[in-house]
Amino acid sequence: MHTPFLVSFLTILAVFLLKEKGFIPADSSKVLSWIVMHVTFPASILSSLPASELNPEYFFLPLISIFFAFSSLAIGLVLFRNLSPEYKGLMLMGSIGINIGLFAFPMIEAVYGPQGAQVAALMDTGNVVMIFGLSYMVGDRWSPASESHKRGVLGTLKLLGKSVPLLAYLTALALNLLSLRLPEFLQSWFTVVGKANQFLVLAVLGLVLNFDWKGHASRSGLPRLLLLRYLLGLGLGVLVWFFLPGDILMRKVVALCLILPAGFAVVPYSMEFGYNRNAAGAVVNLTLIISFFLMWVMAVLL
């Protein structure tokens, strides 16, 4: 149980140290994260999910991600109501969504196997809609920038339609439900490319990791955001554990997903809408560190 997390920790640490010593440019995380989200992660999904035996009990899992996002937003509207425009929308965006594709997926797959990855993938289907839909609209609504960024509903739907991970999920689910299989050469290609996903995800985490958040903790509402995310996530996790129908593995993975860090989309959204970029980085990094060790502990105890 400890091995996947220990290997992940050492890989992240090694990449972080190489970045700090100047051997790897920090901005290479942009290229690697693009490759993960547009190439290796979709390939990993398309190589495994179409041939998986989907449990009909799992099809409500996207609704849990959606419920978590709307619950976080509702509570956040109260918690962050008095924050300055520079931080209010940012903290609301940080409360919505979880980071599965660029954080948890390879570790869940390593610990719980293909069935665990299947549960995480279905959770992420609803999560992707929340990050590229609800989170984007929230950032737009409370943007402190003077110019308008309004996309409207149609613009947001177009953004969702360009989400490669979401398209990969939908394609894989359609192939599975229709009992269709990819051509052998495509299946082989997706398998080979998908195997690179785990290392690249960990490399991206090492590259984006930094500890420069001290100046943003108090005035940005960051402590309240952390309490919101983890108390709500742990609370829902307890409800899932004791009351959700389904097998024990599904309940374990869902409980772990509910304490995952904020999505990386918070950073590019903060730049687009004129929020404080350093505070956005603090949101991502602090939740990344807390969630990694919390996930490790929970995986051992559950």
> What's the Cα-to-Cα distance from 38 to each of 12, 47, 103, 262, rounded to whole Å?
21, 14, 15, 19
HSE (CB half, 13 Å, CA atoms) of 208? 29
Instruction: Among 93-97, 172-176, 198-202, name the most confident range.
Output: 93-97
Taking only the tens place, the pLDDT of each residue in 242-267 is: 988 878 999 999 999 999 999 888 88
Taking only the tens place, the pLDDT of each residue in 47-58 is: 888 877 777 778
Cβ contact 216:282 at 8 Å:
yes
Residue in this structure with the two tokens 């918070």, named with its chain if needed? 266
Least confident of 110-119, 149-158, 258-267: 149-158
pLDDT of residue 259: 95
Cα(83)–Cα(110) distance, integer angstroms: 40
Taking only the tens place, the pLDDT of each residue in 25-79 is: 878 887 888 898 889 988 988 988 887 777 777 888 999 999 999 999 999 999 9
DSSP single-letter state for residue 260: P
Which alpha helices (H) appear in 80-104, and where do they start and end? 85-95
Average pLDDT, whole number, for the chain? 85
Query: What is the end-to-end Cα distance of the chain in Å, rounded?
Result: 11
Cα(275)–Cα(277) distance, integer angstroms: 6
Which of 286, 281, 277, 270 minimizes the C-alpha distance to 223? Answer: 286
Residue boundaries of the structural domains of the chain: 2-301
Determine the topology of domain 2-301 in CATH.
Na+/H+ antiporter like fold (1.20.1530)
DSSP single-letter state for residue 215: G
Cα(167)–Cα(183) distance, integer angstroms: 18
Better-predicted residue by pLDDT, 1 or 129: 129
